[in-house]
Structure 1
Amino acid sequence: MEPRNDTQISEFLLLGFSEEPELQPLIFGLFLSMYLITVFGNLLIILLVSSDSHLHTPMYFFLSNLSFVDICFTSTTIPKMLWNNKTQSKVITYEGCITQIYFFILSGVLDIFLLTVMAYDRFVAICHPLYYTVIMNPRLCVLLVLVSWIVCILNSLLQSLMLLQLSFCTDVKIPHFFCDLSQLIQLACSDTFLNNMVMYLASVLWGGGALAGILYSYSKIVSSVHGMSSSQGKYKAFTTCASHLLIVSLFFCTSLGVYLSSAATHGSQSSATASVMYTVVTPMLNPFIYSLRNKDIKAAMKRFFVMESLKRPIVLGLERCPCLKGSKLQSVVVIL
């Protein structure tokens, strides 16, 4: 066997998308734009759900949590990639790489869990409408989200701790724009059988189990909708599921496409380009899908911006009024 240097390294190199200098400003501008759209779009969803009483329902409670996780998901990878692009550096420290993997797995699996919980919410709403408020009570909603967080934290912690047991060779080049678990395991010099087994088992258990749960929920929903006599009832049931079903299809199809392309082009940078679909594009499109296809979100958005536009002239008018000064003006503005 060839002697290998398996001493503990201190950093990795993220190769990213392209090394051509003329493409770097374009890549930076494109990813910065997508990141800002993702953050502000999902923050708007969270703001609308928290401020509008009409959206204080289980479905929008889960949606606001999904938006928060999507922000975390993109923030785990994109800021570091933008920083490396701007500084013309490819380096990420060993500790930074492990931390990035931890939060990437956490937010990625949590995304899957929340999509599954939302499918269950739609199943109860359509198949058991009379018992919906009883079944999907606030306590159960909080419990479902809390359990999802706990399971995902433990899963991510297990994967990261197992990664710490590996030793790495002198080849520290990762053909990706972030630290990907599978590609990092491939760089290890020590035995990776247990790491691979846990990684694939977790993928099958969480990804396959969640997909099975979603498909089961929608099979029951389709059966229930098919049995409805009213065409208006069928249309209403379809519209309540359309946005969620579109996001589920987008997330799972792009994720599956990434792993299939990674298997076909092992170790190449094409998997990094394919990963952009579910790590950046899907979280960016989620707010648009829900805002454009959801009447409640559009109505809440109108109410929010109308109230903001009405408050501003009133406050400015009060500030110009000489009869209202000091604490009296402040109390009026607070009441408004």
Structure 2
Amino acid sequence: MARKRAKRVKSSVEYASPEESRELAKRIGATRLFAKYERSFTAASGLPLTIRPLGTFRMPATGHKRENPFCALVSTSRKGCLACLLAQTDLEKGNSAKARTTRCFAGLHDSLVPIKMGRRIIAYLQTGQVAIGDLDASSFDHAHSELILRGIDLDSRTARTAYLRSVSLEREAYQGFLKMLEIFAESLGVAANALQISKAEKTGNPAATKAIRHIRQNFERAISLAEISKVAGASCRHFSKVFKEETGHTFVDYLTRTRVESAKKRISETSDRISEIAFACGFESIAQFNRAFKSVSGESPSSYRLTANS
């Protein structure tokens, strides 16, 4: 009897390009919102917290005030640095929109929590360099054996002192901190969308500037490509090309994001019904609104209201 082939489930995980990820990670990292989260998290956990762009081949937490002293010491060795970089690369592999954790050769744990803008992962929150459970002499003996096995030449006494200074947490406590980061990541994803719109509005092109001003003033009603092209003083084809080059978004995408941002503000600040907000923000149907809202925000309008009011 012929065996049935298992169907491959197509992943719903999407990713920003490395270039876009680096730019967004840099801009998010410079916000007061991230600075506030980073201070709160490191004070509570004792662990470093950084933003990692997609596809980054670099050591985590280098120079961070909470960097694990043992990890910093290992990175001074070329072979040690390479071993850590390979572990970081393995951590990012996989097709998952959820937090994931890996254990390095020295028995320390690192984790990535995805920051999503709609359905796309745009960067990661990274933390770790932490021991799960108690640290003792036997813990270092294992780590030291692994160092020797990999040809990483470090002074044993110095390495031991640094290793035993590692932050150690119970597994439940560490999982709790990762849950905290998932909440942080949701807020940063919302901020990233606002940053994208803000960036688009800073274009110096006269046609794009006129179009953006018109969209911001009239997004609550239907706006056609023909109308916006006329406002910009260009043909539909030329306008579409210029607008995408200047803002990084198509006209429809920018209009949708503007409407969703307005809807989010109304959802969080008023008790108006979702349907009323949808039509007030220029959407033609509830179904269209729900699709657009989830695409931009990664959750439904009703879920967003529950989160905003909690």
TM-score of the aligned structures, taking structure 1 as reference length: 0.22
Query: More strand by proportion, 1 or 2?
Result: 2
Query: RCO greater where, 1 or 2, for CA within 8 Å and sep 6 or more?
Result: 1
Query: More helix by proportion, 1 or 2?
Result: 1
TM-score of the aligned structures, taking structure 2 as reference length: 0.23
